[in-house]
Structure 1
Amino acid sequence: MDTADGTSAEPARARARTRKRAARRTQSASMADVARVAGVSSQTVSRVSNGFPGVNEETRRQVLAAMKELGYRPNSAARALKRGEFRTIGVITFGLSTTGNVRTLEAIATSAAHEGYSVTLLPVAVPTQDEVRGAFSRLGELAVDAVIVILEVHLLDASTLSMPPHVQVVVADSDAGDRYNVVDTDQAGGTRTAVRHLLDLGHRTVWHLAGPEGSYAAQRRTDAWRAELLAAGRTAPPLVRGDWSAESGYHAGLRIAALPDCTAVFVANDQMALGLLRALHESGREVPEDVSVIGFDDIPEASSFLPPLTTVHQDFAEVGRLCVEGVLRQMRQDATEHGTTLVPTRLVVRDSTAPPRAR
């Protein structure tokens, strides 16, 4: 029989029959079928599908070839029920537009994959208690063994959060008191090093372009900035605040540029520092001759700023690794840990800082 355009319908029907046979083969293939085709035991097929060692390479290739021929896919859900674990870590986070959160999430995913775990992301659209409660509630519907939280401390009200049983928690870059295990960058230490660097260059004081109110990291950096100036016997200038974005750094920078006595600024992150550099340039203030600028994060682009940015380096890869290590250790020991692990920072000196211009 021909189709409306004059071509034979037989090839199309043959392809459809082939697809149906393949679909039936995929649905009906079992581990026993794979073992029969490969000429091995079902136990060997199980070891190959689970990635266990102890199978020689030739046998592994035979089993994988049989799986491909039959269209067999291991039933991960069944394996999880049998083992009592899903090999999946949930990550609750807000603010994927910020460099710190994205790089921490990337490090968590990389470390989890290295340990044979996958990551399920539970984004919080708006940083409110209701949104966070909703994210924690969804954990009970998902197949996760543990959760890493990248959120601000004021959103982790333990009295309103309901955790699924046996799900371990680690909090990244925040503070949870004695409720959860925490992995954090040494916010205070990095800030003190930055302020001390500017004072050692000869600046009489250091202005601060801070992150948003309510941010744990921003508050830690602000407190350490003020404490370091006080320890040096210097007066802390009025605080200038942004929202982590380069745009907010630019608008704050226009105000800072209009301050003739400002010769040094510690900025709470590199993105705001980028906006500040633009504002100073447009206002005719040279960096570092008129104003020294130092950031926090050491994003990959920091060395390409004009001038290259002096900044505090955060080891996001280590934070992610320690978060994954922490939840896996709690799972294996079936015990909740409390306390804080601080990841050290280091100052990276580039061209945006220098002694103040002689007056």
Structure 2
Amino acid sequence: MQRRVSMADVAAAAGVSGQTVSRVVNGSPRVDPATRARVEAAMATLGYRMHRAARALRTGRTETIGLMVSTLATIGNSRMLQAIADAAAARGYALTVVTAAGADAVADGFARLHDQGIDGVIVLNEATVAARAVGVPDGLALVVVDSPPDHRYTIAQIDHAAGARIATEHLVCLGRGTVWHLAGPDGSYAAAQREAGWRAALADAGLTPPVPLRGDWTAASGHRAARGLPTGAGALFVANDQMSLGALRALAEQGRSVPEEVAVVGFDDVADASEYRPPLTTVRQDFEQLGALAVDALVARIAGAEPASVSLAPTLVVRVSA
């Protein structure tokens, strides 16, 4: 079996002391740039890999972060998982994923992650409601994706209300009368914010908001809910693209053409949105940037900083459906 490359091997190859290699590995500023570059080149040539357990003993950190999510069945959550995993790897962190629904499960998840020595946790979307209700173990840095303000953690999110507003305003400008809304589930912060943006845009236009239809983010729920869209309704804003897919199917089954009879706008801009029939006009979330910002904020909190919360502005992608 091939012997693991050691710090001593790197030191010999770079012509420096073992202490200098240790300083480079641990990110110490007490190394001049030329020496650091020489050590890093030796690491790359030899294939040196940091021994995570040994480093944890020296620094008290495992270089591992946790991700807590209620479900990975929704496209938004799965895309955020990919974005966070990529961003964590780029920063040299391992990732542990815990699925938890409900306050008891979230509390248990926090405890298990803490016991494993995780340095910090990112909590996604629906799991944030339960996370706000439970105590966070001391010493566990926390970043939450989608939440009202809370002094206990940093928040990273898309401006859902602004995204819903631009979607609704686009539909209002088509002159179809009031805009109906197929909302996300009760208890979801993102769903509530998108509904609020829809209501605000209609109020500004002097239009009365109808009672929202409601789904659970899945295409099947969008199909069920859209069957209740009244005859004569000419515009529909759907809270995510998965439900939009189901809504388009329901409208097609009823013989209602899109966009001629009903204009439809979704939210997320999933990878297949341009392949829907018709191609879907939707609000784009930059999942990759949001994941990177969440990881950056968590790494900063692990280091003892208190980074400001961030909210990204979404954009409207106009295709055929509206």
Which TM-score bucket, shorter chain as reference?
A: 0.7 to 0.9
Bigger mean CA offset, 223-232 vs 236-245: 223-232
Aligned in 2, Cα 1:283/1:203: closer, same or farther, shift over 3 Å? same
Aligned to 1:4: none
- 1:344 and 2:313 are equivalent in the alignment: yes
Q: Residues 158-193 of structure 1, C-alpha deviation per residue, up to 9 Å, x if partnerless?
A: 5x313142x211101233433321011010100010
Closer, same or farther: CA 312–31 of 1 in aligned 2, 3 Å: closer
User: Alpha-carbon deviation of 1:48?
Assistant: 11
**DSSP 3-state at the match of 2:227:** helix
294, 301, 319: which one aligns with 2:272: 301
Shift of the 47–261 alpha-carbon distance from structure 1 to 2, 3 Å rule, reads same
CA distance in 2, matches of 1:168, 1:275: 39
Match of 1:202 in 2: 175
Q: Secondary structure at the residue paired with 2:106?
A: helix
Tell me the matched-pair count: 312
Shift of 1:154: 2.6
8 Å contact 1:31–1:45 — kept in the other structure? no
Does residue 329 (structure 1) correspond to residue 319 (structure 2)? The answer is no
Please state if 1:134 is matched with 2:108.
yes
Give how far 1:142 is off: 1.3
Letter in 2 for 1:155: A
Contact persistence 2:7–2:21 (CA under 8 A): no
Q: What residue in structure 2 maps to residue 17 of structure 1?
A: none
Map of 1:63-212 to 2, 5 A cutoff? 63-64=46-47, 75-124=51-100, 127-152=101-126, 153-157=128-132, 160-165=134-139, 167-212=140-185
The residue type equivalent to 1:142 in the other structure is Q
TM-score, length of structure 1 as denominator length: 0.79
Equivalent pair of 1:208/1:266 in contact (CA under 8 Å): yes
- Shift of the alpha carbon at 1:336? 3.8
Equivalent residues of 2:180, 2:235 under 8 A apart: yes
Corresponding position of 1:234? 207
CA change 1:212–1:180 in 2 (3 A) is: same
**Pairing 1:55–2:39 present:** yes
- The equivalent of 1:9 in structure 2 is none
Alpha-carbon distance between aligned partners in 2 of 1:39 and 1:274, rounded to the nearest angstrom: 57
Distance in 1, matches of 2:238 and 2:67, equals 28
In structure 1, runs of 5+ residues without a counterpart are: 1-21, 68-72, 354-359
User: Higher mean Cα deviation, 145-154 or 314-323?
Assistant: 145-154
1:15 matched to which residue of 2? none
Change (3 A) 1:81 1:59: closer
Answer with 246-255 or 34-43: which moved more.
34-43
The answer to whether the 8 A contact 2:7-2:22 is kept is no
5+ residue gaps in structure 2?
Answer: 27-35
Distance 2:50 2:197 in 1: 53
- 2:186–2:192: 8 Å Cα contact kept in structure 1? yes
Q: Go from structure 1 to structure 2 and tell me whether the alpha carbon gap of 1:35 and 1:301 turns closer, same or farther (over 3 Å shift).
A: closer
Deviation (angstroms), 1:340? 3.3
Distance, in Å, in 2 between the alignment partners of 1:286 and 1:271 is 19
**Identity across aligned pairs (percent)?**
41
| Alignment counterpart, residue 248 of structure 2, candidates 271, 277, 289 | 277
CA 1:74/1:223 → structure 2, altered by over 3 Å: closer, same or farther?
A: closer
Alpha-carbon shift at residue 117 of structure 1 (Å):
1.5
| CA displacement, residues 102-146 of structure 1 (integer Å, 9 cap, x when unaligned) | 11121111111111212111221xx21100100111122113212
TM-score using structure 2 length: 0.87
Structure 1 consecutive aligned stretches of length 4 or more whose deviation exceeds 3 Å: 29-42, 44-53, 56-61
SS at match of 2:98: strand
Structure showing greater Rg: 1
Closer, same or farther in 2 for the Cα pair 1:235/1:97, shift >3 Å? same
SS of the aligned residue for 2:278 comes to: coil
